[in-house]
Structure 1
Amino acid sequence: MGEAVEWEFFEVLEPASQRIPFVFNSPHSGRHYPQFFLDQSRLDPHSIRRSEDHFVDELFRSATFLGAPLLRAHFPRAFLDVNREPYELDPRMFDGALPPHANISSMRVAGGLGTVPRLVAENMEIYRGRFPVEQALERIETIYKPYHATLRKLIARTHVEFGMSILIDCHSMPGNVHLPGSGHRPDFIIGDRYGTSAAAELSRVAVELLEQLGYAVARNKPYAGGFITEHYGRPTRGLHALQIEINRGLYVDEATLIKKPGFAALEADLATFIAALARHVEDFGAYLPLAAE
């Protein structure tokens, strides 16, 4: 990674045995910031965490006790974003030429949020200056590609064993997010790429179960799902993918990054949600592929 460094990029938390056709993924909750990366950055160690999905891997750790694997990143989103195409890269960030297959003109690149991000938040530049393009490509080869290979294996294993696979891509959103055109602040947003990444019934039940727990829930707006949801969701083949965004204001002080007293209660509610969604799939899962929109 441009430096001699030893650290575990990601890990799979496996259940004693997989009992439900779910795979959980937390790609943005990594909080290991290598010193060489901090040295490259103009941000202090606190500010650089602005794009992190704080503690989302902990909020969903009950998934393993309920019988599903959880893949979680240790690398931070500011370092590498695996919820992007592999080569969404901004040439202005690097010394050296990008490969011809790089996507340099996507909206996400323009917004500073490519595979190797330029920003952690609006007007918050990560890097002091350009750095060698080889470093960016090395992150893709040594972290991005193995991460997605691991995720594909988990999904394929689940699909073979259960005849279907349901990927739950776990994220958080800032506490001040409003629904478009209103002052309403949702607690959760369920994203299914406007009905293309998962059966409509699965999305409907996910929203309903969270509402029954007392939460305000929206669907697809303003977050419909990113590359992971779009790439792995093939509902007509029994491969479903839902993105879940949790309002950080529910569980963490966004200024201090200290967990709020309600953290444990939210974690317990998510365990209840996962168990109820799994029961629904067990009872009605055979109909899910037919319900895709």
Structure 2
Amino acid sequence: MNVCEIARGDGPVILAFPHVGTGLPPGVAARLNDEGLLLRDTDWHIDRLYADLIPGLTTITATQSRYVIDLNRDPAGNSLYPGQTTTGLIPETTFDDVPIWRAGHGPQPADIAHWLDQVHRPYHAALAAEIARVRARHGVAVLYDCHSIRSRIPWLFPGVLPDLNIGTDGGTTCAPELETAVAEIARDSGHSWVLNGRFRGGWTTRHYGRPQDGVHAIQMELAQISHLAAEEPPFATDPDKAAHLRLTLTKIVSALAEIAPGLARR
């Protein structure tokens, strides 16, 4: 099974897209209900949103739906946000707490073990290999983990999510210069934003972000209202919104690429 598509660049920045996949193996598709088959919680179109922002980017793009297994969850099954509502390795509901599996056909422990082996571990092995390749070339690697989510999900958070949600796990997953640069660009962008708010970085950001070892990680969770025509089927992109947002995203990834060489010389 092809779990991801990789485009190798010669720069220090890696963009990861763990939740854009819509692939459903037959054994999973046959067990999902009509709600599940909508794939509502996909990070719709963000791989295209980030496409070709600057030269030299490496991209790793998941092919399988997060309903098969969530690539941004701890493989040990530990919660990302203890005490807060969230979904697990294989979600049983949407982010609105609506069941996605046909009655009596939900995920079992054997499913978790199987998809960890077939999808989760191969994806992260590929990502780790790209991080190692980029770090060997540049002395540093910057992993920018790309996500999106609907702006109103009462089951997960109150109110309306800001457009730009920057996560560095309280500043632990990247150098301060990187965090400051992204925050300043967000502040001046005209978009609403927050640093380490409801989404402070998922398992990928926390697992790989080791500034002391030359690997810096940042998660960006985009509110889908910032680039979609509507946060409901068919989840179409709004070209004008997307074009405006791409200006900000270009500034962000450009800043990461410009700062990275200085981090390698420390």
Q: TM-score range by the shorter chain?
A: 0.7 to 0.9
SS of the aligned residue for 1:84 comes to coil
2:165 corresponds in structure 1 to 189
Determine which structure has greater relative contact order: mean sequence separation of CA pairs < 8 Å that are 6+ residues apart, divided by chain length. 2
Tell which structure's C-alpha radius of gyration is larger.
1
CA 1:163–1:136: 2 relative to 1, 3 Å: same
- The aligned amino acid for 1:227 is W
2:68 equivalent to 1:85: no
SS of the aligned residue for 1:24 comes to strand
Q: 2:45 aligns with which of 55, 67, 92?
A: 55
Q: Higher mean Cα deviation, 111-120 or 22-31? A: 111-120
Q: 1:75 aligns with which of 55, 64, 73?
A: 64
CA 1:131–1:215: 2 relative to 1, 3 Å: closer
- The aligned amino acid for 2:68 is F
1:231 corresponds in structure 2 to 207
1:14 corresponds in structure 2 to 8
2:95 corresponds in structure 1 to 121
Moved over 4 A (4+): 105-112, 181-185
CA RMSD of aligned residues (A): 2.8
Aligned residue pair count: 260
Q: Deviations over 1:167-215 (max 9, x none)?
A: 101111222379xx99674210111000111112210111112333322
Return the offset for 1:124. Answer: 1.1
Give the TM-score normalised by the residue count of structure 2: 0.86
2:32 equivalent to 1:33: no
CA distance in 2, matches of 1:176, 1:107: 18
Q: Deviations over 1:111-140 (max 9, x none)?
A: 562111212223211222245543332111
Are 1:173 and 1:246, in contact at CA under 8 Å, matched by a contact in 2? yes
SS of the aligned residue for 1:72 comes to strand
SS of the aligned residue for 1:209 comes to helix
SS of the aligned residue for 1:156 comes to helix
Are 1:119 and 1:126, in contact at CA under 8 Å, matched by a contact in 2? yes
1:265 corresponds in structure 2 to 244
Are 1:66 and 1:275, in contact at CA under 8 Å, matched by a contact in 2? no
CA distance in 2, matches of 1:109, 1:147: 28
CA distance in 2, matches of 1:112, 1:183: 16
CA 1:198–1:213: 2 relative to 1, 3 Å: same
Q: Deviations over 1:218-256 (max 9, x none)?
A: 100011011111110111222111001111001111112
Q: Higher mean Cα deviation, 25-34 or 192-201? A: 25-34
Alignment of 1:1-293 (within 5 A): 8-15=2-9, 18=10, 20-44=11-35, 47=38, 49-62=39-52, 66-88=55-77, 111=85, 113-128=87-102, 129=104, 130=106, 133-176=109-152, 185-252=161-228, 253-256=230-233, 257-261=235-239, 262-282=241-261, 284-286=262-264
Q: Deviations over 1:57-78 (max 9, x none)?
A: 1112225x52021111111112
Are 2:214 and 2:264, in contact at CA under 8 Å, matched by a contact in 1? no
Return the offset for 1:263. Answer: 1.9
Return the offset for 1:279. Answer: 2.0
CA 1:113–1:221: 2 relative to 1, 3 Å: same
Q: Higher mean Cα deviation, 233-242 or 107-116? A: 107-116
Unaligned runs of 5+ in 1: 1-6, 89-102
Give the TM-score normalised by the residue count of structure 1: 0.79
